[in-house]
Amino acid sequence: MVDLRSDTVSLPTPEMAEAIMAVIPHGLGDDVYGEDPTVLKLQQKCCNLTGKEAALFVTSGCMANQLAIKSHSVPGNEVIVESESHILHYETAAPSIISGVQLMPVNGSNGEPDLSELERKIRPKEYYYPQTSLVCLENTHNRSGGAIISITHIEKLRKLCNDYSIKMHLDGARIFNAIAETGIDLKKYSSYFDSISFCFSKGLGAPVGSVLCGNTAFIATARKWRKILGGGMRQSGILAAAAIYAVDNNITRLKDDNLRAKHFANGLLELSGMIVKEPQTNIVLFKSEKFENSDLIQRCKSHGILISSGGNDNIRAVFHLGINDDDLSFALSVFKKICLNN
């Protein structure tokens, strides 16, 4: 099967497996005691990459986002998110459960929230309103097909948030896919945000884990909440070793995924009846004028290609380190066969 459902499906390579084995047993300790040397090394590496004071290795991108919301807010606050964000759509209303906050969606274009609408949605400081504590941004933006949020937009948003003393969190699950295109380094992106998270288990190809970075006090709070939520892991150096390998070896290759996504999109465009959103990074959103999405997904599956729903009546195909040029050609040949036979 050529699995294009998500970049989370990739499996550790033999080299990554070797890096994991290499930390057993001497690179391990109890991370709840802060004693796992490999986790500490990973967290320090993430501080160096982001320019933030502290970092916390967590189980998932969702946990990183939820810890950020929890640590930046108190119950009764309101958190502004873009209306197509992962936090709003795919995190099971966790902000209301874990943090007791309300999400305030703001319409956006390609993941960039409309700034005048956003300013209107910041609550006045009256006792009968919830207080706006945080704005969360997502870069790259999943439901917009891996769209890159421009640095100009981020700068304007930071200025706005400064005017109202509002914190900013970046859900940077796929920030390195953006960096592969913009060449802007992670320190620069991070500098606009009070906290930033990114995932090791998407394009970077590690099996598990994300990191949350911010100042020392913020990370101390997040660490406590991680424990409360059952996210305190013990000899998690096994996972951190894979994440370190991913950061050291799999960032520069993300450009290949982005490029394959472009080739795939161009290939689909040559087929009649395909509507394709031009990808900026590794996610291609498309649909067919001839087939219902569920029908097309099923037809692809029967020919050995897995694709999935991308939200808003789109199908998505996501490129990652488990997909090579042969897989790309095969996927396009399958689409051609399906489209020509109908």
**Residues contributing to the site for ligand PLP (CB under 6 A):** 60-62, 65, 86, 138, 142, 171, 173, 199, 201, 210
- Our CB check for ligand PLP shows the closer of 132 and 210 to be 210
Instruction: Provide the 10 A C-beta neighbour count for residue 16.
Output: 23
DSSP state of 45: H
**Is residue 338 within 8 Å of 296, Cβ to Cβ?**
yes
Instruction: Provide the 10 A C-beta neighbour count for residue 113.
Output: 26
- Nearest approach, Cβ of residue 303 and ligand PLP (Å): 25
Beta strands in the chain (DSSP E): 2-3, 54-58, 78-82, 102-106, 108-109, 112-113, 132-138, 167-171, 195-199, 210-214, 274-276, 283-288, 305-306, 308-311, 314-318
Instruction: Provide the 10 A C-beta neighbour count for residue 279.
Output: 27
Q: Which burial class, exposed, middle or buried, applies to 93 when counting CB atoms under 10 A from its CB (0-12, 13-18, 19+)? A: exposed
- Our CB check for ligand PLP shows the closer of 171 and 257 to be 171
- Nearest approach, Cβ of residue 138 and ligand PLP (Å): 5
- Nearest approach, Cβ of residue 64 and ligand PLP (Å): 8
Instruction: Provide the 10 A C-beta neighbour count for residue 330.
Output: 16
- Our CB check for ligand PLP shows the closer of 37 and 311 to be 311
Report which of 211, 87, 73, 224 is spatially closest to residue 143, judged by C-alpha positions: 87
- Nearest approach, Cβ of residue 340 and ligand PLP (Å): 33
Task: Give me the phi and psi of 57, to 5 degrees please.
Answer: -80, 125
Report which of 260, 332, 301 is spatially closest to residue 5, judged by C-alpha positions: 301
Pairing of strands 305-306, 2-3: parallel
- Nearest approach, Cβ of residue 28 and ligand PLP (Å): 23
- Our CB check for ligand PLP shows the closer of 31 and 171 to be 171
- Our CB check for ligand PLP shows the closer of 213 and 332 to be 213
- Nearest approach, Cβ of residue 288 and ligand PLP (Å): 24
**Is residue 1 within 8 Å of 307, Cβ to Cβ?**
no
- Our CB check for ligand PLP shows the closer of 142 and 281 to be 142
- Nearest approach, Cβ of residue 283 and ligand PLP (Å): 9
- Our CB check for ligand PLP shows the closer of 173 and 274 to be 173
- Our CB check for ligand PLP shows the closer of 65 and 258 to be 65
- Nearest approach, Cβ of residue 174 and ligand PLP (Å): 6
d(CA 134, CA 93): 16
Q: Is the peptide bond before 216 cis (omega within 30 degrees of 0)?
A: no
- Nearest approach, Cβ of residue 173 and ligand PLP (Å): 4
Task: Provide the b/e sequence for 229-256 (b: ≥16 CB within 10 Å).
Answer: bebbbebbbbbbbbbbbbbebbbeebbb
Q: Which residue's Cβ has the minimum distance to ligand PLP?
A: 61
- Our CB check for ligand PLP shows the closer of 306 and 334 to be 306
